[in-house]
């Protein structure tokens, strides 16, 4: 996986953001067990998701009256099923009183092993964020194509999926959480992250064609 870090600027703001995103999450961090492909536990991923969304310039006005998180998984793949269950439990426990600012949260399970049309489900359920659990024998490119067509932010705990076209992942490096962002994928999904978030994330390079289509977020 090819990643690079943006130049650090406005050091005080970046330091504050690091504290907001990472420090409150470190206590009680245990190793991930839901799936071998995920290096950070699902509970940590979900807690970081809410913080990352605060740096999407569309939030909250662009999300309507509620935030809808679709959890994409395979019921016949145990690692995927376990990740879905953990994600749903974490979402419902973390946000029992609503998402940030009291915005209602709704969680929708999307089982690829059932009779699911992902494109239809994203529209019918008005999905805002698609959490992608570990998948087996599913081309990630097909998932990313649908999410881009429908303008849905993709988020996953499998870092490799970001190189393959999803927008955001939470992993770990050196025992600390690591945010990975495919800037071309995020832009294609209609997401506009603030420069403060991009300065502390690892930016994952997609294909040359993808990156050429979007401006470097380091530029003014």
Q: Which domains occur in the chain, in start order?
A: 3-25+32-212 (3.40.50.2300)
DSSP per-residue codes, 62-113: GGTTSEEEEEEE-TTSHHHHHHHHHHHHHHHHHTTT-SGGG--EEEEEEETT
Under DSSP, is residue 179 helix (H, G, I), strand (E, B) or coil? strand
pLDDT tens digits, residue range 3-22?
433 333 344 454 445 434 54
Q: In whole angstroms, how far apart are CA 82 and each of 6, 38, 150, 166? A: 35, 12, 27, 21
Nearest one of 214, 216, 220 to 189, comparing CA atoms: 214
DSSP state of 61: G
Under DSSP, is residue 178 helix (H, G, I), strand (E, B) or coil? strand
pLDDT tens digits, residue range 18-54?
434 544 444 444 333 344 489 899 999 998 998 898 8
Q: What is the pTM assigned to this prediction?
A: 0.80
Other beta carbons less than 10 A from residue 52's beta carbon? 23
Determine the distance from the C-alpha atom of residue 9 to the mean position of all C-alpha atoms in its chain, rounded to a whole number.
Answer: 24
pLDDT tens digits, residue range 158-214?
999 999 999 999 988 888 889 999 999 999 999 989 988 999 899 987 643 443 443
Mean pLDDT for all residues in the chain: 79
């Amino acid at each position: 996986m090819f990643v690079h870090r943006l130049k650090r600027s406005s050091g005080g703001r970046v330091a504050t953001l690091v504290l907001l995103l990472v420090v409150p999450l470190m206590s009680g961090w245990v190793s991930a067990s839901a799936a071998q492909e995920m290096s950070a536990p699902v509970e940590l991923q979900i807690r970081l998701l809410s913080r990352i969304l605060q740096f999407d310039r569309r939030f909250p006005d662009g999300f309507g009256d509620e935030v809808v998180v679709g959890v994409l998984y395979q019921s016949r793949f145990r690692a995927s099923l376990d990740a879905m269950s953990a994600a749903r439990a974490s979402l419902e426990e973390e946000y029992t009183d609503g998402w940030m600012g009291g915005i209602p949260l709704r969680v929708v399970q999307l089982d690829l092993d059932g009779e699911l049309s992902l494109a239809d489900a994203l529209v019918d359920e008005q999905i805002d964020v698609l959490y992608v659990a570990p998948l087996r024998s599913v081309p990630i490119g097909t998932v990313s194509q649908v999410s881009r067509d429908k303008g849905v932010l993709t988020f996953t705990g499998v870092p490799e999926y970001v190189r393959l076209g999803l927008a955001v992942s939470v992993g770990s490096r050196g025992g600390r959480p690591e945010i990975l962002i495919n800037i071309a994928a995020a832009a294609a999904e209609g997401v506009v992250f603030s420069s403060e978030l991009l300065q502390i994330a690892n930016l994952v390079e997609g294909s040359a064609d993808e990156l050429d289509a979007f401006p470097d977020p380091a530029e003014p």
